[in-house]
Amino acid sequence: MSGQRIAVVTGGGSGIGKAASRRFALHGDLVVVADFNEATGRSVVDAIRAEGGHAEFRRVDVAEQASVDALAADVESTVGPVEVLVTSAGILQNATDIASFDLAEHDRVWAINYRGVYLSCRAFGPRMAARGRGSIVNISSTSAVDPMPLLAYGPSKAAVQNLTGALAVELGPDGVRVNAVMPGYVLTEAMQARIDAGKRDARSMAGHSALGRMVAPEDVAQGIFFLCSDAASCITGVVLPVDAGYLPALSYLHHPGLGGVHPRREDRRPVA
Ligand SMILES: NC(=O)c1ccc[n+]([C@@H]2O[C@H](COP(=O)([O-])OP(=O)(O)OC[C@H]3O[C@@H](n4cnc5c(N)ncnc54)[C@H](O)[C@@H]3O)[C@@H](O)[C@H]2O)c1
């Protein structure tokens, strides 16, 4: 891996983005924490600097083209050429059915979770390609492949995966790799808020994985860091699950005719 890289992490002020920012900084990279929330973003920068790392804060709304384009122009002129982009800005949604799902909320999820990723890749990808070097990691979700009553969130993540493959092919000849991570249930600030509000069941989320635990933001950060490292120099267009084995365990649990027996622990059976 080259020396100090410039890494932009959207949504770097919280959760997976915060953990990724700290992971790149630990490696010696200069991290631009780009977030809508200035207070949390700046606190991540302060924490990185207190640990001897290098970080800058930039405010961005990834759903707004002008804001994302301004971020890219500003970072490249005041910080330097960006080599790593992690698009972790995103929002969760609550379970709903199609009849009662507010269309404005549907559109807001898409605006941030898909359009935000698209705009970020659009702003930084061609700049990387022009220099012949770069790595982008988008954040999908197991809900991209495991349909759930998250009627904007899941489809938006499926679209992110499709975009990741397309951009890997488009930008690959110019030395830019584009990959995604597919987290399962990650205990981030956003997830904790939903657990506290009674919208998610922590025990059930942990119990439905092969490893019997939720994913930590740092686990996802390690996957992101790997995909941006020289160890992954021949890997592009992939979606790396970081889900504590949630997807294979789910498949096993629901296999028709086998009685829903968990591979390891009877007490982790789903509660009807
Ligand atoms: N937590 C999970 O279980 C989980 C699982 C799979 C995928 N993901 C995905 O990981 C990503 C990060 O989620 P998280 O759980 O870390 O959430 P989080 O709320 O902890 O962090 C998300 C960050 O994005 C920022 N953000 C939101 N909207 C923005 C906007 N318009 N412009 C700029 N920044 C904005 C927030 O301010 C926040 O700092 C999301 O894309 C989410 O869908 C999360």
Among 9, 16, 191, residue to substitute to test ligand 1 (most atoms within 8 Å of Cβ):
16
**pLDDT beyond 60 at 129:** yes
Q: Ligand 1 in contact with 112 (CB < 6 A)?
A: yes
Question: What structural domains does the chain harbor?
Answer: 6-190+215-246 (3.40.50.720)
Q: Which residues are catalytic?
A: 153
How buried is residue 65: exposed, middle or buried, by Cβ count under 10 Å (0-12/13-18/19+)?
middle
pLDDT at 2: 53
Contact in structure between 12 and 33 (CB atoms under 8 Å) = yes
Question: In the predicted model, what is the mean pLDDT of residues 218-229?
Answer: 98
Percent of residues, the chain, with pLDDT higher than 90: 85
Contact (CB, 8 A) for 224 and 137: yes
Give Cβ neighbours of residue 156 (< 8 Å, ≥ 6 apart): 109, 110, 113, 114
Q: Is the pLDDT of residue 265 over 90?
A: no
Buried/exposed 26-54: b ≥16 CB within 10 Å, e otherwise = ebebbbbbbbbeeebbbbbbebbeeeebb
The pLDDT assigned to 252 comes to 78
Q: What six digits make up the tokens of 245? A: 């084995």
